[in-house]
Amino acid sequence: MKGQYLPLNMISPGRKVKLVAVRGGQGIRRRLNDMGLNIGAEFRIVHSHFSGPCIIAVDNTRLVLGRGMSQKILVEET
């Protein structure tokens, strides 16, 4: 649903999303930033398990996010 902010691990695979916010300290935000996931970054979910790590496609890269991470990343479906 557009307009809603959801944690990443709740989005089904195949969807495209935009990163809206990160719930977490500097460490997590920086790490994500470094990998290209800044606020406003758009990416696609390749793989997602509710309780496990998930794979996303940003640009031409695939990133794996640990399970703790995907819960803390808030996105909006595009």
Residues lying near other proteins in the complex (CB under 8 A): 16, 24, 26-36, 38-39, 44, 46-47, 49, 52-53, 55, 57-69
Minimum separation from the CB atom of position 3 to other proteins (A): 22
Residue in the block written with tokens 């640990």: 66
Please state, in angstroms and rounded to a whole number, the distance separating the CA atoms of residues 50 and 47: 10
Q: Which is nearer to other proteins, 47 or 76 (CB)?
A: 47
Q: Which is nearer to other proteins, 3 or 60 (CB)?
A: 60
Do residues 61 and 43 make contact, with C-beta atoms less than 8 angstroms apart?
no
Q: Which is nearer to other proteins, 10 or 49 (CB)?
A: 49
List of residues 6+ apart from 19 with CB closer than 8 A: 32, 37, 38, 39, 40, 41, 42, 43, 73, 74, 75
Minimum separation from the CB atom of position 25 to other proteins (A): 9
